[in-house]
A = this chain, B = another copy of it.
Amino acid sequence: HEVIGVDLMFVSYALVLLILLAIAAEQRHVPSSVAAISAGAVLGGVLRLTGADRDRDLLLRSVIFFDEELFVYVLLPPIIFEAGFSTSRHHFFSNLFTILLYAVVGTIATAILIALACQLAGQAGWFRVGDEDALDFSSPKDACLFGALISATDPVATLSIMGAYSVDPLMYTVVAGESVLNDAVAIVLVRILSDLKADAFGHPAALIFGVWKFISISAGSLAVGVAVAAPSAMLLRRVDLSHHAAFELSLLLLFGYCAYVTSEVLHCSGSESRPHPPRHGTPTPRDGTPP
């Protein structure tokens, strides 16, 4: 009880400092994400150098160490929901084929290219070898995982520059749509690769298994998304929520979370199965181009 309280106390004060840092960075025209990543790198470096990361009795252990459940069930869902909610449905669906081409084929091609480059560099001995923890890309699995992990680009800076110079809306839509879907593709790739054994790489059966897994996870997630979105859309149309703003907002967020967590429980990727915003009433906050 007390330990959780102390951890939460430090987390809330740390978040206050992080927001102040982000404000200070943006006033100097540095993106707040750059400031946040730098602060994290400095803190991680200090923990590493002082050896605190090997201390099992550390007070703030539950805060400092990455908790996958917290990430999957609390931090990731709102990010995915926001991406889907702020995408213009009209532009997205009228360019679906192009977007899918970039998001699926493009992301997989990027992952393979990075994996090959890492493996070649690893075989050439460019990385530190020997240390147990070292990522020396000695196994193809490491190289493929790294390639999948960094294949999904997040073109925040590109999109804001595009918005500022008002480029062709088609260009904007394709880049924005791709950035929404490529995360899902990368997550599925990483999950498939993590499930493969290290010696399965290079075996043709692994490739067939991977392709099958990719198609089944994508189709399964889409099916869950439709199965949750269809009744929720019908419900939101039929029930009069005009005097219940709080209930409407709660239902909207809950339906998204229902789809996500159902998909997660069924071992699919939740990020492809969020329902799109309901089609009644107000337009989506961002409509193709950012404000």
Interface residues of A (CB under 8 A from B): 1-2, 4-6, 8-9, 12-13, 15-16, 19-20, 22-23, 26, 68-69, 72-73, 235, 239, 241, 244, 247, 250-251, 254-255, 257-258, 261-262, 264-265
CB distance from A278 to the nearest CB of B (A): 14
CA distance A235 to B247 in the complex (A): 34
Interface of A is mostly: helix
Quick one: which of B69, B251, B254 contacts A1, CB cutoff 8 A? B69
7 A–B contact pairs at CB < 8 A?
A1-B69, A4-B69, A4-B73, A9-B258, A9-B261, A12-B258, A16-B254
CA distance A15 to B13 in the complex (A): 31
- List chain B residues, Cβ under 8 A from A254: 12, 15-16, 19
CA distance A8 to B68 in the complex (A): 15
In the complex the two chains form, is B5's CB within 8 Å of A73's CB?
A: yes
Report, nearest first, the 9 A-B pairs whose CB atoms are least far apart: A5-B265, A9-B261, A12-B258, A12-B257, A8-B261, A16-B254, A19-B247, A9-B265, A5-B264
In the complex the two chains form, is A13's CB within 8 Å of B258's CB?
A: yes
CB distance from A142 to the nearest CB of B (A): 23
CA distance A241 to B20 in the complex (A): 10
CA distance A4 to B251 in the complex (A): 21
Task: Give the nearest-CB partner of A73 in chain B.
Answer: B8
- List chain B residues, Cβ under 8 A from A264: 5
Given the contacts A1-B69, A4-B73, A73-B4, A261 and B12 also touching, CB distance less than 8 Å? yes
- List chain B residues, Cβ under 8 A from A251: 16, 19
CB distance from A277 to the nearest CB of B (A): 17
Given the contacts A264-B5, A265-B5, A265-B9, A23 and B258 also touching, CB distance less than 8 Å? no
Given the contacts A9-B261, A16-B255, A261-B5, A23 and B239 also touching, CB distance less than 8 Å? yes
Interface centre among A72, A73, A255, A261 (most CB of B within 10 A): A261
In the complex the two chains form, is A247's CB within 8 Å of B23's CB?
A: yes
CA distance A26 to B19 in the complex (A): 40
CA distance A285 to B2 in the complex (A): 34
In the complex the two chains form, is B258's CB within 8 Å of A26's CB?
A: no
CB distance from A241 to the nearest CB of B (A): 7
CA distance A68 to B258 in the complex (A): 25
In the complex the two chains form, is A265's CB within 8 Å of B6's CB?
A: yes
CB distance from A61 to the nearest CB of B (A): 17
